[in-house]
Structure 1
Amino acid sequence: MLTNGTEYTDEALISRIVRGETALFELLIRRNNTYLYKVGRAYPYGHEDTQDLMQDTFVAAYLHLGQFERRSSFRTWLVRIMLHNCYRKRQKWSAKHIAAAEIQPGMVPAFSRGSETDTNQTVMNKELRSVIEQALERLPLDYRMVFTLREMNGMNVAETAEALQISPANVKVRLNRAKAQLRREVERSYSAGELFEFNLVYCDAMVSRVMEKISSLK
């Protein structure tokens, strides 16, 4: 099994994958699993729907890898594909389905404090889970997505603006408003980075799903 080797940049991996080293795509999946998972959950979709959207996004990225023009980072390009898939799925859902898509207790993944290992993951208690669900549900989608990309995924203002196709000024405004609504209820107990972690227990499964799908396309 490949590891997330720091000796390869995304650009170097893409060049080698395009030339036929398909197995290296696993590294790009592992590097970006967490980012895409947070986007899907923030939209908000449940765990299973988010995984399906992630798979679709990775496969689409693989199929169009030769078209990646490097005008933005690979991560930004990938997030834009994920956002497009999330939006398209949302458009297909009825109002009833959207209401039913609220985060359910069994769908909330374990959170991590400073470590991604299973032994350090903290399962949220019912009261805190409820606080976070209610706080996030009250955020308008536009604010929730900016908060997710900037504070949870660590994208800078320019990357966020490009991913969402809005101005940098709008990114800053939306982020400030999102923080104002969330800080009191959420950041009092948990840092932004702890929300919606894609646990390592899911990472291997996603790699297997995507690589199996890619193999079937040959």
Structure 2
Amino acid sequence: MTQEEQALVQALHRGDRYACQELVEKYAGKIYNVALRLTGHPQEAEEVLQETFINACQGVEKFEGRSSLGTWLYRIAANNGLMRLRKKEAPTVPLETAPDPDVPTEFWPRQLQDWAWEPEQVALTDELRQVMEEAVQKLPEPLRMAFILRDIEGLSTREAAEALEISPGNLKVRLHRARLLLREELASYFHDHPNGGQSRGTAH
């Protein structure tokens, strides 16, 4: 935890009325993005966002400081989002007992290597962006959350595992399964679009 985070946590403990506002301003964008990709609905994402910061500001005494403040907020958001999803979805098969294979990245679709939404890293067309977003939404909730935190938000394996309260090994299992399911889901699109939906300039 950084000194800035320590100061913010101390202010929250003191009941500083501006501390919670600062917490929201600092992390709201990231938490909303995670909530939106997890739930797939802006209204539900807003509700998860509000619940997350209410839980954090009112329950700061539960923060033990063993992880970063951001990781703790991701954990709260993940729990709130998953609770909502589980009210609507059928129970899933436990993933913790699955093997932990290591598949070389050259066997993944090119767009799934070092997955990122930033245009300077992957030039996504609107069509491909929509296809990818829909594919992520089809992932089972534990896999979806692992993929969002690790490959989209860029958390380390340790940070993502802490946020989901699972071991790094289990995080890797979920991430591996998510990538394989996405590969299957996107295979037909990449077959029909050899360039992955990326436009290329014509030679003159």
The answer to whether the superposition gives a TM-score over 0.5 is: yes
Per the alignment, residue 91 of structure 1 pairs with 86
Relative contact order: is structure 1 or structure 2 higher (C-alpha 8 Å, sep ≥ 6)? 1
Relative to the length of structure 2, the TM-score reads: 0.65
Q: Which runs of 5+ in 1 are unaligned?
A: 1-6, 96-110, 115-121, 191-218
Cα shift readout 1:91-127 (whole Å, capped 9, x = no counterpart): 33377xxxxxxxxxxxxxxx7646xxxxxxx9963x3
Aligned-residue Cα RMSD (Å) equals 3.1
Per the alignment, residue 145 of structure 2 pairs with 145
Per the alignment, residue 34 of structure 1 pairs with 29
Cα shift readout 1:118-173 (whole Å, capped 9, x = no counterpart): xxxx9963x33541243223422222111111122221111211222222112122
Q: Matched residue of 1:9: which SS?
A: helix
Relative to the length of structure 1, the TM-score reads: 0.61
1:61 equivalent to 2:48? Answer no
Residue 93 to residue 10, structure 1, CA distance change in 2 (3 Å): same
Indicate if the aligned counterparts of 2:139 and 2:178 stay in contact, CA closer than 8 A: yes
Q: Matched residue of 2:170: which SS?
A: helix
Indicate if the aligned counterparts of 1:161 and 1:171 stay in contact, CA closer than 8 A: yes
Residue 34 to residue 189, structure 1, CA distance change in 2 (3 Å): farther
Indicate if the aligned counterparts of 2:82 and 2:141 stay in contact, CA closer than 8 A: no
1:52 equivalent to 2:40? Answer no
Equivalent residue letter for 2:36: R
Quote the sequence identity (%).
Answer: 34
Per the alignment, residue 131 of structure 2 pairs with 131
Residue 134 to residue 69, structure 1, CA distance change in 2 (3 Å): closer
- What does residue range 64-79 of structure 1 map to in structure 2 within 5 Å? 64-79=59-74
Residue 123 to residue 50, structure 1, CA distance change in 2 (3 Å): farther
Indicate if the aligned counterparts of 1:38 and 1:148 stay in contact, CA closer than 8 A: no
Shift of 1:31: 2.4
Taking the aligned partners of 2:17 and 2:162, their CA distance within structure 1 comes to: 28
Cα shift readout 1:175-199 (whole Å, capped 9, x = no counterpart): 233234446669x569xxxxxxxxx
Shift of 1:85: 1.3
Which protein has the larger Cα radius of gyration, Structure 1 or Structure 2? 2
Taking the aligned partners of 1:18 and 1:71, their CA distance within structure 2 comes to: 16
Shift of 1:49: 1.0
